[in-house]
Amino acid sequence: MAVTRRDFLKAGVWGMAGLATLMHMKAHGAVTFKISACDWSLRVANTPDSLALAKDIGLDGVEISATGDVGETMDIADPALRQAYKSAMEETGLEISSVAMGCLNNYPFATDPRAPAWLEQTIEATADLGTKVILLAFFGKGDLRDSGGLLRRGGGLKEAEVDATVERLIAAAPIAEEAGVILGLENTLSAEENMAIVERVGHPAVQVYYDIGNSTYNGYDVPAEIRQLDALMCQIHFKDGGYALGEGRVDMDAVAAAMRDIQYSGWITLETAVLNDNVEASFRRNAAFIRTMFQQTQ
């Protein structure tokens, strides 16, 4: 079987042993994944307790928040906090799937003078935790579009902010590569607009963190974008507004087909709604839906 560009990008993160495993899985044509959930969606943000809850639910990991009082130093830079996360991982057998810099929604990556240092601290912490992906958030004040609201398709790009983002990513990418970390961009932009940013940065450590819910509600063609991004999609959020998966506006059958077409291998991270104020039942339901969707047995 020919080795694709996606394989080379994955090998850069996982090493050649991981590539050999990946190629074996590809030979069988399967989507291979583990399921995590965002700690803020689990309602236990910024605490290692999120891993115990995820274990009770039956998940494989947690996407944790990198935040703090957003002074000069991020909470995740504290070795004691990282040790608490490591202890929780050891106790539960779960992993940290990714680290999300949601603080960038209020303190934009493009314009806040502290953001480059925050990112360097988060890269170091992410590597220390044995994790491979950092989510860089571009919503709220950090949105790269002009128009108002959370979902902003149709507004013009903030060109100065895009330029500054590219410049800062060019500086950070070699640091991330050295640490074995991928910087994933999550925003309100189209796949094409994200690919243009990634192309300008020109470094494999900068990729796209895709969200099927945000993109559906923005009016993008989600299956087409998944196929378009392919190797540039480092991780994926599953959600569908206030609905359980399979009951809202996202065409989950079409999403599954697209992910099979690119032979996705990685984390599927739930950022799903809590129904009836029952966190555990909501996440168990959505995790079961994903496993059925891809015919995975637990």
Q: What CA–CA distances, in Å, run from 76 to 17, 81, 120, 210, 231?
A: 30, 7, 11, 23, 28
- Is residue 237 within 8 A of residue 211, CB to CB? The reply is yes
How many C-beta atoms lie closer than 10 Å to residue 197's C-beta? 20
Rg of the chain taking only CA atoms, in angstroms: 18
**How long, in residues, is the chain?**
298
Per-residue confidence at 69, pLDDT binned at 50, 70, 90?
low
Residue 21 has pLDDT above 50, yes or no: no
- Is residue 236 within 8 A of residue 210, CB to CB? The reply is yes
Domain ranges of the chain: 1-29, 31-293
Q: What CA–CA distances, in Å, run from 49 to 26, 88, 101, 235?
A: 35, 7, 19, 23
At 211 the three-state DSSP class reads strand
Give the pLDDT confidence of 227-236 residue by residue, as tens digits.
999 999 999 9
Per-residue confidence at 284, pLDDT binned at 50, 70, 90?
very high
How many C-beta atoms lie closer than 10 Å to residue 58's C-beta? 14
Residue 14 has pLDDT above 90, yes or no: no
* Predicted model pTM: 0.88
Tell me which architecture the domain covering 31-293 has in CATH.
Alpha-Beta Barrel (3.20)
- Is residue 165 within 8 A of residue 117, CB to CB? The reply is no
Nearest to 139 by CA among 100, 106, 95: 106
Give the pLDDT confidence of 125-183 residue by residue, as tens digits.
999 999 999 999 999 999 999 865 445 455 789 999 999 999 999 999 999 999 999 99
pLDDT at site 24: 40
pLDDT at site 22: 43
CA 152 to chain centre: 20
In the chain, DSSP finds a helix count (H) and a strand count (E) of: 10, 8
What is the rounded average pLDDT for all residues in the chain? 90
CA 174 to chain centre: 20
Residue 187 has pLDDT above 80, yes or no: yes
Nearest to 189 by CA among 166, 215, 164, 168: 215
At 209 the three-state DSSP class reads strand
